[in-house]
Structure formats: C-alpha cells, structure tokens
Amino acid sequence: MSTPQPSSIEENEIILGTGMGPLRFGATMDEVRTLVGEPEEIEESDDDDDFEHQAWNYHEEDYLLSLYFDREDDFRLSCIETDNPSMRLYGEAIYGQSVDQVKALMERHGQATPELETMEEGAIRLSYEKSMIDLYFEEGELQFVNFGVFINDDMEVQWPK
C-alpha cells in the first residue's frame, strides 16, 4: 500500500517562517533530497556574494522551484522561491493576483506596512520584512514569491519547531 501524497493545496501552501507544504525551513540537504529528489540544477554563490549558498533548482512542467541553503546555517533550507501557479498563502490562491489583492490578504492576516519598490523593466516588488517574504509582480499580476525563515531583531535565525 502506497503512502498517500499530500493534496496540491497542502503541497503548495506557503506557511510564513515555516516553509511550503512538506518542505520545512531547517531541513538538511539529505532531508530535502528525500522529499523532492535530486535538483535539475545546483547553483553556487559567486565569490563576491555576502552569503555563501547553494540554490537547488527544480524545473517542473510549468514552474520553477528554487531552494536555498546557506553555509552560515550549516546548509539547512532557509529560503524558497517559486512561481508555481498553484501556490497558496493563508489558504488562498495568490498567483496572478494584483498588488492590491495581495496587500488586502496580508492585511487581513495582520501583515501591514509593506515596502513597495518598482524595479527595472517595471516589475514591482512587495516586501514584508518581518515576515521574510517578497512578492514580485509583472504587468500588475503576481508572478513569483521568495520567502524565508524568520530572523529575530538580534539577527538570529528562528527555525520552526
């Protein structure tokens, strides 16, 4: 009898400070490999990067999943980036939503005062620093999200329990 796989809702649910679906911040590379398999591509940080890290990229049918492991954190999973069209936040599908829709969702869950930055080529980045999440919009629609483990005011990583 096979083990049931999580539903797509659970699998693609972003849980701030914790991870996404079965991927939990603090997981070792071996634990991640067991959960999602070998990455199609591994990127090493450049010598001039402030933080030495590896990014594991998984190219799925219609999206990219990138998992980041920092040397400073003993190469434990510390950040996830995805443009998965099935991603969810607070139980709601967010891919393709407008800046105002995402801001309203975040406000309903106590996440106020984001930083808004217009980037090169007109893309917009909506950042919630305390919640360690950046949301990127192109042509007015959410395209991808980058989120990480929480860090306290003393710059100490707060691994999920």
| Position 45 pLDDT exceeds 60 | yes
Burial of 26-50, coded b for 16+ CB within 10 Å and e otherwise, reads bbebeebeeeeeebeeeeeeeeeee
In this structure, are residues 51 and 45 in contact, taking their beta carbons and an 8 Å threshold?
A: yes
Strand 64-70 with 76-82, pairing: antiparallel
Beta carbons of 29 and 69 less than 8 angstroms apart: yes
> Which residue type sits at 142?
L
* pTM (two decimals): 0.89
Confidence of residue 9 (pLDDT cuts 50, 70, 90): very low
CB 79 within 8 A of CB 90: no
pLDDT-derived band at 128, boundaries 50, 70, 90 = very high
Please write the tens of the pLDDT for every residue from 50-99: 667 899 999 988 899 999 998 888 999 999 999 999 999 999 999 999 99
Q: Using the predicted structure, report yes or no on whether residue 1 has a pLDDT greater than 60.
A: no
Mean pLDDT over residues 136-158, rounded?
95
**Pick the residue with more confidence: 48 or 115?**
115
Is the pLDDT at 5 greater than 60? The verdict is no
